[in-house]
Amino acid sequence: MSLFTLNIVKANNVPAKDLVSPSDPFVTVTVFVKAEEVATVSTSHVDDTHTPEWREELKFQDASGWDLDATTLKFEIYDYNKFIASHYIGETTVSLRDLLKHPSLSLLMENKRFNFDPVVDNNHPNGPCYLFVEVGSERPAGWPSPSPRTNDTYERHIFMVTRGTRGDVQPFVALARGMAEEFGWLVTICSELPWKSWIKAKTCDVSRGKVEFLPSGGNTEITTNSKIGQMALSSKFDTVQMLMMGFSEAAFFASCTTIVASARRAQVRQPISLVMYGFTLCQVGIATARCLRAPSCGFILQPTCIPSQDSDWHPVQQLTGSRFTDFKTLTEIKQKVELVDKVPNTSLDLQPVEFWNYIRARKQPLLIPMNASTFKRPSDFWDKIITSSFIFLRPPKGSVTNSSLGPELDGFVQKAKADSAKLGIITVSSMPGCRTMILEASRMMVEQCKVADFRIIYVGLPPSDKDRKMPRDVEHAIQKLKSEARLFEADRADFGILFGHLDVFVVHGGLGTTVEALRIGKPVAVTGPLALDQRWWGKVVHDKNIGPPPAHIDKFHEVCVDFINNALDPSDPQGWQRSARQTSWGAVDDDGVSTNARCIRDMLEEGEIPALSSV
C-alpha cells in the first residue's frame, strides 16, 4: 500500500484578511522530497470564521517512495477569494518523521513575509494561530506508527524563553541539559522553529529528565541577514549600537502572546516551577511569569544591560567617541521606545511595569554565567544578581564523538609545528559580509610578522555575494599563501581541538569563543562588526591587558600588524603574554553546566524566588 492520509482538523485565531468580515480559510499541504515538490493537496474553504473546522482527510498517493528523513510537509493557510488571488495567511514546515511521531499535532503558523513572526488574530488578545492535524489511518507498509505522548512527571518543570542566534540559544541548551541530566527535571525550551532540530539533537541523549521544545515564532537569522540588519550590524557608530540595544527587545514582541500560549501549554503538561529568559526577552519573560503566577530568573549573557548609576558602567562601549552613549542605562533609551514597557502587557491584560524596578522589588534573581572576576561589579547591583561560571555546550563526558580537525586542517597544523612556526586563528564565523576584510588582514599579519614565522587559520562563513569584492592582487596573494601552507581557510572547525594548538587569537567577541580563547592563556584581539556584547568582551580583553582595544573590522587592517608582532615577540613588550598566562578564566575542560544548574536548584530549594502575580 502506498497511500498516506492526513486529517486537517481545525485552526484557531485565524486573522481576518477581508475588509468587512473574517477570512474564508483553507489549507494547502505541499510535500517535498529532497527539496523537490512531489505532491500538493488542499482542503475546501470555510466561510467567515476565525476558528475554521474542516475535519477533512487529505490523500497522498505513491507515498511509499518518500524518504522519511528527506521529506518535509509545508502547511499553508490562505483566505479564499472567488475573483482574485487568495490571500496568504501563514505557513509552517514539518519533517515527515516528526509528523509520524505522534497521532496529533498543533502547528504554529508563521508569516514568511514578516521574518516568520507568528501569525496572530487581529482581535484582542491577539492569540497565536495554530493548525491542528492528525495522522490518518493509511500509511505505507514499514512506516512507523504514531505513539501517544507520555504523561511522565518530574520533580520540577523549568520553562526557558530564548530567541536569537546560535550564540544566544546555546547557553540555554547547555543549562537545560544540565538541569535535566543532573536533577531529572523537565525543561521546556521555547525558541525559534529553525532551532528545533538542533536543540533536539543536542538533548536527545538526556537519560534522567527531559528537554522539550515549543515554538516562539520568528527567525533572527533572516532578520540579521536583511539589508537593514546588515547595515545596523556593520555600523561603527555608537548611536546605532545604542539604538539596536534599545530596540532589540521590541523586535521580539511579535512573539509575546505566542510565548505565553506555549507556556500555558507547557503548564498543562506539568506546573511550571520557574520561567527563565535572556536579556533581549526581559519584558516577555516577566509577562510570561506573571500570566502563569510563577517565579522568574533572568539568564543574562550581557551584564551591561543591567542598569547602574556607577560612572564607569555603560550599556554600549564607545568606539567612535559619540557622546550619545552617555546614557547611563539602557532603561533611559528604552523609555523612549514606548513599546518596550507597554506592548506585551497590553496584549495580555497586564498592568504595565518598569522592568528593573519591578524585579528588584520582588526579589527576582538574575544569573550571569560568568566568573565574578570577569568585570567590576557595580556598587548598586542588588544581591539577587548572581555570577556563577562560564557555560559551554559540549558533548557529555565519556561520550563517543567523531570530532576531529579533518585531514586538511590537521595537516596544516602539523606542518606549522614541524616548521617551528607560530600559529594563530581569526574567526568571526557568525558574521556575514566580512570575508574580504578578514583575508586582507590575515595576509598582512602573515607577510609582515617580523618576530616569527607566522601561519594563520581563518574560520568563517564561505564566500557570499555580501562580501566586498577582493582586489585581484590581494586575491592572488591569498592564493599564494594558501599554496605555501601559510594560510588556511575553513567554514568550520572543532575549536575544542584546534585552540590548544594556537599561539594567538583574533575573535569576534562572542562569550563562548572569546572565553575558550582566553582559557588557552595566549594573547587575544577582538574585531568584527562589534555589535552589542562583542564590544563589551573586547573591552574585557583590553582591560585585563591580554590584547589591544577592540577594533572594528573596517579598521582592523590598521592595527593587525602591530598586534601580531607584539603578541608573538618573545620580549612581550605589551605584557599581553604574561597577563594571558596569569589571568584565570576557569579550567579548559570545565563546561560550567553543573555550577549553573546547581545555582538554579539552590535558589528554588531555599525558596528564594517568590512567585509573581498578574497585578
Q: What is the DSSP string of 360-405?
A: HHTT--EEE-S-GGGSPPPTT--TTEEE-------PPTT-------
The stretch 205-217 carries a mean pLDDT of 95
Domain residues of the chain, as ranges?
3-135, 157-394+594-606, 407-582
CA distance between the termini of the chain = 58
% residues pLDDT > 90 (the chain): 66
Q: Is residue 344 reached through a cis peptide bond, with omega within 30 degrees of 0 on the bond before it?
A: no
Other Cβ atoms less than 10 A from the Cβ of 535: the count is 24
Same fold? 3-135, 157-394+594-606: no
Find the helix or strand (DSSP H, E) in which 134 lies: strand 130-135
Give the count of beta carbons closer than 10 Å to the beta carbon of residue 464: 10
Tell me the percentage of the chain whose pLDDT exceeds 70: 87
For 554-572, the pLDDT digits (tens) are 899 999 999 999 999 999 9
**Could you tell me the CATH superfamily of domain 157-394+594-606?**
Glycogen Phosphorylase B; (3.40.50.2000)
| Distance in angstroms (rounded) separating the CA atoms of residues 83 and 585 | 66
Fold of 3-135: Immunoglobulin-like (2.60.40)
Q: Pairing between strand 524-528 and 454-459?
A: unpaired
Q: Which letter does DSSP use for residue 87 in this model?
A: E
The span from the CA of 409 to the CA of 413, in Å, is: 6
Residue pair 298/279 in contact (Cβ under 8 Å)? The answer is yes
Give the architecture (CATH level 2) of 407-582. 3-Layer(aba) Sandwich (3.40)
One-letter amino acid identity for 190? C
pLDDT of 245 higher than 90: no
Per DSSP, the residues of 437-461 read HHHHHHHHHHHH--SS-EEEEEE-P
Question: What's the confidence (pLDDT) of residue 148?
Answer: 84
Q: What is the pLDDT of residue 348?
A: 83
CA 485 to chain centre: 35
Of residues 8, 145, 1, 134, the one with CA closest to residue 63: 1
Mean pLDDT, the chain, as a whole number?
88
Determine phi and psi for 10, rounding to 5 degrees. Answer: -165, 175
Dump pLDDT digits (tens) for 93-136.
Answer: 999 999 999 999 999 999 999 889 999 998 888 999 999 999 99
pLDDT in tens, 328-345: 444 444 444 444 555 566
